[in-house]
Amino acid sequence: GREILAREVRRRRLESPDATRLERAAADLSVGTAEQLQAALGRGDIALGTMMRALYPDLPAEDLQAPKPTAFGRVIERLRLGRGIKIQGVDGLMVRYAQCCQPVPGDRVVGYVTQGRGISIHRSDCPNLLLLSAEAERRIEIDWQESEGETFVVRLAVGGEDRRGLYADICTAISESGTNIRSAEISTRDGAVFGSVLVEVENQTHLNKVIRAIRRVKGVMDVSRRESGPQTQAPVG
């Protein structure tokens, strides 16, 4: 809230409010202390315009009109209206792709508006998203349009029967599918192979192609997307 207020004061070229002014505004708005006032602004409990009116009651009425939406605000509004946008490369929008579920274009995704870190993009079936469901107003439905040339990292869990050359054959199958391997960790125990492979894919179609290629390798019994919550089988149909 403190940073939101500071940006607005700079934008309007006003004198920064001192502690006395902030305390008076907090009292006028029945919020408590100046610190609680700024925290309420950060949470969205108090509108920025309301706070500015309390801090600067002598400003002309036209100066107290709601400011034009920022680039971030315009994108948020477009998202709320359900219009598809290119999530990658949107100016002024902070976007993080959740590492718990590693979404890729083609997945059903949900945006979660975080505090101070922009929008976190999760797969709609992400287990961690259920933990955030208590604040439903922070969730935004997104129509994700992929951007040409962008790649996304996905970790795959691989299991199978131990045999000589299996690791090399898995890497060859991935490479022949036109996919870059970031890293691979394969272990053996009691005649079984298990591990994970980190690959770069363009979208869900590309990911499914990689999964099918790995499953065709002799000795491979299972391939699935690996995530921090319960593992979910990637669709390959």
pLDDT in tens, 118-173: 778 888 888 877 766 556 667 777 767 767 778 899 999 999 999 999 999 999 99
Q: 199 and 179 in contact (C-beta within 8 Å)? A: yes
Q: Which domains does the chain have, with CATH numbers?
A: 2-64 (no CATH), 71-141 (no CATH), 152-225 (3.30.70.260)
Mean pLDDT of 99-115: 84
Identify which has the larger pLDDT, 76 or 82. Answer: 76
Torsion of CA 213, 216, 222, 224, to 10 degrees: 10
pLDDT score of 114? 73
Helices 34-43 and 48-55: crossing angle in degrees, nearest 10, is: 150
To the nearest whole number, what is the mean pLDDT of the chain?
A: 77
pTM score, two decimals?
0.55
Measured distance CA(7)–CA(222) in Å, rounded: 52
pLDDT score of 82? 35
pLDDT score of 132? 66
Q: 227 and 127 in contact (C-beta within 8 Å)? A: yes
Mean pLDDT of 190-203: 92
Band the pLDDT of 61: cuts 50, 70, 90: low
Measured distance CA(133)–CA(122) in Å, rounded: 12
pLDDT score of 51? 83
